[in-house]
Chains A and B, each alone.
Chain A
Amino acid sequence: KAGVTQTPRYLIKTRGQQVTLSCSPISGHRSVSWYQQTPGQGLQFLFEYFSETQRNKGNFPGRFSGRQFSNSRSEMNVSTLELGDSALYLCASSPDTTQSSIYGYTFGSGTRLTVV
């Protein structure tokens, strides 16, 4: 079956703009998590959605937001972009938290965001 699909693969934005990234989880998976990866801070948890509800959020400013649709697809939005938001944004899916505690997560290939 198809894996986790993230679009777009690459994105270049200007400071101050906003951006929306998309993630389609594996069919049947209801949990979608987002992570930011930078050379300085490494991989950091952004937020997790399950059945259209945000269950938890990492330590990121309110400029970072997300949502999940009824088909489990998720989007994350970053407003008022800063140079430091340049990163690889990764999406991970799992059937639910019980399954993720047994089998782990399936990650997408990521969206590489560059802010200039």
Chain B
Amino acid sequence: DIVMTQSPLSLPVTPGEPASISCRSSQSLLQSSGSNSLDWYLQKPGLSPQLLIYLGSRRASGVPDRFSASGSGTDFTLRISRVEAEDVGVYYCMQTLQIPGTFGQGTKVELK
């Protein structure tokens, strides 16, 4: 299985400040189409996960533009340009290149 490694695992943030989360995969996630099979999910406290970013860098419907993602191959980054209080929760990256799809351990984002 492809192993996904996130860092940091805990991220205290100040509202209004930027934040970033790294995700690395044990194998390249780059498809022949040029897209990367890497998605980002946010699980807010007490809720189900929600899709934030898919295919490496595409924002899902309704996701604020303060969220962006980049990367290719094995290294990926999720960025929040200005953190808001509603952004707290656990962020997961997930690879979908191979079955089984595998998630990173999660990065817990909380306010300082």
Q: Do A and B bind each other?
A: no
Give the A-binding residues of B (Cβ under 8 A).
none
Give the B-binding residues of A (Cβ under 8 A).
none
